[in-house]
Amino acid sequence: MKRNIISVIVFFLVLGVPTSVLAVSRNTTYNMYGGIYSQAFTMNKGKYARVKISPKSYPSYAKNLNVQLEKKNWWGYSNVSSYSAVSAKSGGYSTYKKAPEENFYRFYIWNPITPETTYKYKGDLVVYYNIN
């Protein structure tokens, strides 16, 4: 019995730890009028990135916040994928395709009602990356 328990623990350590250690998240807040960039992060080739938006305050007419993944190039950053919309009122997740190569990436989150300089959008932001 004791040997079986040790075997199960070793099994989960061998298989569970590498996948959970490699996936990383960063928590932050947003306080914006037009748009913001997340902090850049290194993502390995073939891994996924995900952002979670949890709104705290927003204008009454708010509908969506757009989210886009960008990759660093020698001239700056460029889009890796088209944007997706997350509710500005209830929030949610946005998941992005596999990274085409190991590189620096960041998320750009913006208010699609442009130019918006009157009302702030505030909330919490969690960026997950290197997800299998």
* pLDDT tens digits, one per residue of 77-90: 888 877 888 988 88
Query: What is the pLDDT averaged over residues 87-108?
Result: 87
* pLDDT confidence of residue 27: 81
| Band (72; pLDDT cuts 50, 70, 90) | very high
Tokens of 90: 């209830």
CATH number (domain holding residue 67): 2.60.120.380
Could you give the number of structural domains in the chain? 1
Taking Cα atoms as reference points, which of 94, 108, 98 lies closest to residue 132?
98
Is residue 16 in a domain?
no
**Is 5 part of a structural domain of the chain?**
no
pLDDT at 104: 92
Where would I find the beta strands (DSSP E) of the chain?
A: 24-32, 35-37, 41-43, 48-57, 64-73, 76-79, 84-87, 92-96, 103-110, 121-131
Domain assignment of residue 80, yes or no:
yes
> By mean pLDDT, which of 19-23, 34-38, 39-43, 114-118 is the weakest?
19-23
Confidence label for 115 from pLDDT (cuts 50, 70 and 90): low
Q: At CA 9, angle to CA 7 and CA 15, rounded to 5?
A: 100
Q: Residue 113: its pLDDT value, please?
A: 74
- Give the range of the structural domain holding residue 98, as residue numbers without chain letter: 24-131
Residue 55 lies in a domain: yes
